[in-house]
Structure 1
Amino acid sequence: MSQHSAPAPSPQLFEQGGSPALAAVAKRRDWWRDAVIYQVYPRSFADSDGDGMGDLEGVRTRLPYLRDLGVDAVWLSPFYASPQADAGYDVADYRAVDPMFGTLLDADALIRDAHRLGLRIIVDLVPNHSSDQHEWFKRALADGPGSPLRERYHFRPGKGKNGELPPNDWESIFGGPAWTRVTEPDGTPGEWYLHLFAPEQPDFNWDHPAVGDEFRSILRFWLDMGVDGFRIDVAHGLVKAAGLPDLGTRDQVKLLGNDVMPFFDQDGVHEIYRQWRRILDEYADAMRPEGPSADGRGRETGGRIFVAEAWTPTIERTANYVRPDELHQAFNFQYLDTPWDAEELRRVIDRTLEAMRPVGAPATWVLSNHDVTRHATRFANPPGLGTQIRLAGDRKLGLRRARAATLLMLALPGSAYIYQGEELGLPDVVDLPDEVRQDPAYFRGAGQDGFRDGCRVPIPWTRTGPSYGFGGGGSWLPQPEGWGELSVEAQTGVPGSTLELYRAALAVRREQPDLGAGDAVEWLRAPEGVLAFRRGAFVCVANTTGESVAMPAYGRMLLASGEVTEAGGEAKVPADTTVWWTQA
């Protein structure tokens, strides 16, 4: 009889300068097909100067931690010059770093250090809208109606006798109308402009050629800096239906991702991405600039990628974004939305793999990000509440399910995304005082209630200190008492801790040839509420029920998210637990 949970990772995996396995992955042109990509939300990751705000230098100093965690790439949320009306997703200058995060030299140092450690860097790109402080928009306002600059956005006269009504009935994702009326230079009420998000985020008009020219130039700027790819914010939103027709319904935010919308997932976006892909394919692999000639100029092309944030009605529509001549990956929001239920998980896994197979793209899997409630809190609450939960729920249950869900995700074929702090088992902070909340949706009464602040609280690095090691002072959002017991320091080297579970899982994933890349699973017979599948010699079992189940012991146990007992060729898998075996 034996019990098994999370073993310590192999010591040789974490050699100074990176592991041989990590280096081998870094040299592959198709590294992204089975990559584990870690999302850094810069303002909440590490603060190097003690001002309470995370920054690029803070990220750079923590790169060895990410190397040792075992991820392949780091995705950075926006750090561009911005008034910060929406935490940097309102960009004023796409070629400058906001002073709160550092300088272009800091960005350059971060990219270079990451590459030396075998890590790739993916940066956010925000092409659907700019800040209202972007030079184009400021000049458009100053020039008045008829200005050529206004054609680069969606300016329209209002409806009604005096133009006092919005041009159509579209609603902002953050609540309220998607239109704001401007005061013209002469002081009179004038035209309206479209903003699918906050009023400080006017939407670009992608029918105007100058917009496309500008973003192709922006791509080249950052590719020349050495970034390994781009995560495209609101990738489904750039093109609007001709004539901007009324939608004819209220509570439009409830339809997002479930229905066809005239401002999302229009077919015209795909020609934009075909143009972008041609640019990306011109560039040498930033991690392997010299190598066998692939383009006649002595450079190894490929290795740089696009990732789409594309909310679409179906997985099949999402697959359109990752056709061979477009983007490389698209976030699987249908999987993120799936409750901890074996039947529903199997359905979305099968449908995802089936949708991606014809276009030759890898599936992607994600459980948390900066826009949704952390899965340790989602799974702590009854299903059906969606991804916008502001209830603590049963913390122990939520963490147990979150750990099991992570092992299930990492066992699936394709690429996986980890959101900073989930490797610590962090829950959402659901009791932030109203006076500290900063999500723009909170200030729009009909919006999303500002739920996103709870997943953006700075992460803890040490047991003690004014910000638990986040920086030398406080933090821009307050961290709860007891945060130190979830810190990196508190969990490092502790058998069974969530951090060590992640480290061990990522180590095993690198060492097992049947994990990661691929496009299929072989489902095995299992009791109701249990998922079991084989991939070569590897077997994964996930018990989503509230009771222990007896399962065959499928060989040598590699890892488990909870305590599993084996005896006589049978394994007792506890409630809400995932187990990995190998038959090799």
Structure 2
Amino acid sequence: MWWKEAVIYQVYPRSFQDTNGDGVADVEGVRRRLPYLKSLGVDAIWLSPFYKSPMKDFGYDLADYCDVDPIFGTLQDFDRLLEEAHALGLRVLVDLVPNHTSSEHPWFLESRASRNSPKRDWYIWKDPAPDGGPPNNWQSFFGGPAWTLDEATGQYYLHQFLPEQPDLNWRNPEVREALYEVMRFWLRRGVDGFRVDVLWLLAEDLLFKDEPGNPDWRPGMWDRGRHLHIFTEDQPETYAYVREMRQVLDEFSEPGRERVMVGEIYLPYPQLLRYYQAGCHLPFNFHLIFRGLPDWRPENLARIVEEYESLLTRWDWPNWVLGNHDQPRLASRLGEAQARVGAMLLFTLRGTPTWYYGDEIGMKNGEIPPEKVQDPAALRQKDRLGEHQLPPGRDPERTPMQWDDTPFAGFSTVEPWLPVNPDYKTRNVAAQENDPRSMLHLVRRLIALRKDPDLLYGAYRTYRAREGVYAYLRGEGWLVAINLTEKEKALELPRGGRVVLTTHLDREERVGERLLLRPDEGVVVRLD
């Protein structure tokens, strides 16, 4: 299966490469940068939404599932990108957003036109509570109630995100079939699969019961954390929907050309793994982000990996993630030195890694002044926090790709939609191409090394190590050791071998049964 051996590279289309001088990246920009992606060694590109949209949530509020928004280009631009990617041996995954549409989508406009509309049941409508308020206490991910009153028809509609993102009713078979036809539209064009947005949210409790309070919530924490979301997340019906989506993918799959489903799912391992059984090839495993990065210690990382490996069946294939468009940058969370160590961890664990654009040059969270904040989740908190306390939200990890040291980092010829990080003069692709010990060269080396069969398919085993060092064996002949401290550490090896790669990119040497790790150093050893 190609996706087991692949490295997936996420492109956030607004921020990769602007080619028409409007400050927003586009599909043509991705096409022009395909040689760079090929040189990096990745195997598949995942494109975040580029569909027609009012852009209230930058493309995750779709007004047309089957067309490209003019800000990103045309369908012909996409077809050209797909053709050239395939010619280079690169697969292309696109985002599927099945949980909700834009409030400007024709389906919703028809649904809200009348209680008797043929598409009324395509969305989730409920009468007000006895006091006239929302039907229940469900909360939006972006703050406030998950319900908005439609004055014209006197009912509330559900939206787990913005009011401009009404939730589709997946219990309606017509809705499901319409979404499956969307999948077929892109599969016929030749895409290699989908990253499915908020896959674990497709179904809600049939009785729309209030969600219980969270006893661990405290003031100052995330508002949605006030409740335990047992009636809006991971409902049993979801697995049947996933199975139906898998059947659509299988219609287009053939040996060597399997169409793959990657599912966005934020759940504990026991719940996450059920999505494998339902038919999702790669239910995203975010545990390194949410459990590993905040507690970057060997014993914690080993616990995360061992728990996952112990729960997987022989048919389940692991996957790992350290960054995406919703999470702070890897280099900002760990620092530059440990970001290199993190890359070694990601590319040497068993399973398919997903890499976020720009992390290969150690891009950091951008600096976003309050007046330039774009993220709707942050803007929704403006009234509550006040203008000068406005949080940057998810904008810092979405700043433009830093290609070179020319104005606007080679991303555009005009001021971009988000400010370029001020460090672009020294942190950019062109500069790192010329530095043989740069993060960019390290990532290239790691991706190439990962193609070894033992690093692809060999078993994982945690290896005993001293405090501050996380070490593990892969297959029969590889040992990976990463020093998570700023002090020199020693590691006793099971036998001699050869250091074939270090995060410092400055040594390849034979070693005996004792290995010295410098501060913030990771090494890969080929054992004798």
TM class by shorter chain equals: over 0.9
- 1:66-145 counterparts in 2 under 5 A? 66-143=37-114, 145=115
State the Cα distance separating 1:576 from its structure 2 match: 2.5
1:438 to 374, 381, 386: 374
- 1:506 maps to which of 447, 451, 457: 447
| Alignment counterpart, residue 468 of structure 1, candidates 383, 387, 409 | 409
> What amino acid sits opposite 2:170 in the alignment?
W
Q: Does 1:318 align with 2:259?
A: no
Report SS of the residue matched to 2:251: coil
Superposition deviation, residue 147 in structure 1: 2.9
Which residue of 243, 250, 264 corresponds with 1:281?
250
- Spell out, residue by residue over 1:273-310, the C-alpha distance to the aligned partner (whole angstroms, 9 max, x if none): 1112122112144xxxxxxxxxxxxxx47521000001
Q: Normalising to structure 2: TM-score of the pair?
A: 0.92
CA contact (8 A) 1:310 1:330 kept: yes
Q: Is contact 2:437-2:506 (8 Å) kept?
A: no
Partner of 2:135: 167
User: Counterpart in 2 of 1:329?
Assistant: 282
Q: 1:255 to 1:132 in 2, by over 3 A?
A: closer
Deviation at 1:508, TM superposition (A): 1.4
Question: Structure 1 length as normaliser, TM-score?
Answer: 0.83
Q: What amino acid is aligned across from residue 469 of structure 1 in structure 2?
A: G
Within the alignment, does 1:456 sit opposite 2:398 as a pair?
yes
Q: Distance in 2 between the 1:256 and 1:113 partners?
A: 45
Counterpart CA distance in 2 for 1:471 and 1:92 is 27
8 Å Cα contact 2:134/2:156 also seen in 1: yes
User: Is the 8 Å Cα contact of residues 35 and 516 (structure 1) preserved in structure 2?
Assistant: no
Deviation, structure 1 residue 254: 6.6
Question: For 1:377, what is the secondary structure of its paired residue?
Answer: helix
Match 1:341 to one of 286, 297, 309: 297
Query: What is the CA–CA distance in structure 2 between the aligned matches of 1:275 and 1:302, rounded to whole Å?
Result: 19
* Residue in 2 that maps onto 1:483: 424
C-alpha deviation, 1:450, in angstroms: 4.3
Contact 2:213–2:227 under 8 Å retained in 1:
no
The CA deviation at 1:234 is 0.2
Q: Amino acid of the residue matched to residue 455 of structure 2?
A: L
Change over 3 Å in CA distance of 1:94–1:335 after alignment to 2: same
Please say if 1:200 is aligned against 2:164. Answer: yes
Which residues in structure 2 correspond to 1:342-381 (within 5 Å)?
342-358=298-314, 360-379=315-334
| Residues 577 and 451 (structure 1), Cα distance of their counterparts in 2 relative to 1, 3 Å cut | farther
Give 1:493 shift: 3.2
1:22 paired residue number: none
Q: In 2, distance between residues paired with 1:242 and 1:258?
A: 18
* CA positional deviation for 1:545: 2.4
The change in CA–CA distance for 1:481 and 1:329 in structure 2 (over 3 A counts) is same
Query: Which of 506, 515, 519 lines up with 1:571 in the alignment?
Result: 515
Percent identity between the two aligned chains: 41
Q: Residue 559 and residue 257 in structure 1: after superposition, are their counterparts in 2 closer, same or farther (change >3 A)?
A: farther
Q: Distance in 2 between matches of 1:532 and 1:141?
A: 57
- Give the letter for the 2:439 counterpart: T
Cα separation, 2, equivalents of 1:246 and 1:257 = 12
Shift of residue 375 of structure 1? 1.5
Q: Which has the higher contact order (CA 8 A, sep 6+)?
A: 1
Q: How many residues align?
A: 509
Take 1:177 and 1:552, find their aligned partners in 2: how far apart are those partners?
A: 56
1:493 aligns with 2:430: no
Give the Å deviation of 1:248. Answer: 3.2
- Equivalents in 2 of 1:195, 1:213: separation in Å? 21
What's the CA shift for 1:198?
Answer: 0.7
Question: Structure 1's 567 and 258: CA in aligned 2 closer, same or farther, altered over 3 A?
Answer: farther
Task: Say which SS state the counterpart of residue 394 (structure 2) adopts.
Answer: helix
Residue identity opposite 2:203 in structure 1: V
Q: Which residue of 2 aligns with 1:56?
A: 27
Alignment of 1:233-312 (within 5 A): 233-249=197-213, 253=222, 261-285=230-254, 300=255, 302-312=257-267
Contact 1:94–1:218 (CA under 8 A) maintained in structure 2: yes
Q: Structure 2 vs 1, CA of residues 151 and 449 (structure 1 numbering), >3 Å: closer, same or farther? A: farther
CA distance in 1, matches of 2:253, 2:5: 20
Contact 1:37 1:73 in 2 (8 A): yes
- Contact 1:340–1:401 (8 Å) recurs in 2: no
**Alpha-carbon distance, 1:530 to partner:** 1.2
Q: Which moved more, 1:439-448 or 1:248-257?
A: 248-257
1:372 deviation in Å?
Answer: 0.5
Residue 477 of structure 2 is matched in structure 1 by 537
Measure how far apart 1:77 and its partner are.
Answer: 0.2
**1:109 partner amino acid:** R
Relative distance call for 1:52 and 1:331 in structure 2 (3 A) is: same
Q: Could you report, residue by residue, the CA deviation over 1:383-417 in whole angstroms, capped at 9, with x for unpaired residues? A: xxxxxxxxxxxxxxx01111101101111001001
Q: Is the 8 A contact 1:281 1:301 kept in 2?
A: no
Counterpart code for 2:239 = H
Structure 1 Cα separation of the partners of residues 5 and 285 of structure 2:
14
For residues 108 and 486 of structure 1, what CA distance do their matches in structure 2 show?
32
Cα offsets for 1:516-573 (capped at 9, x unmatched): 235x312222102211111121110011123110124651111111377779734321
The one-letter amino acid paired with 2:403 is: W
- In the alignment, the residues of structure 2 paired with residue 69 and residue 330 of structure 1 have an alpha-carbon distance, to the nearest angstrom, of 25
Which stretches in structure 1 are left out of the alignment for 5+ residues? 1-29, 286-299, 380-397
Task: Provide runs of 4+ in structure 1 moved above 6 Å.
Answer: 254-258, 563-568
Q: CA deviation at 1:336?
A: 1.6
Preserved CA contact (<8 Å) 1:128 1:235: yes
Cα deviation per residue 1:193-219 (whole Å; 9 max; x = unaligned)? 111001110011111111111011011
Deviations 1:2-47 (Å, cap 9, x if unpaired)? xxxxxxxxxxxxxxxxxxxxxxxxxxxx011132100000000011
Q: Tell me the amino acid that sits aligned with residue 529 of structure 1.
A: G
- Return the alpha-carbon distance in structure 1 between the equivalents of residues 208 and 300 of structure 2: 36
Distance change >3 Å, CA 482–CA 524, structure 1 → 2? closer
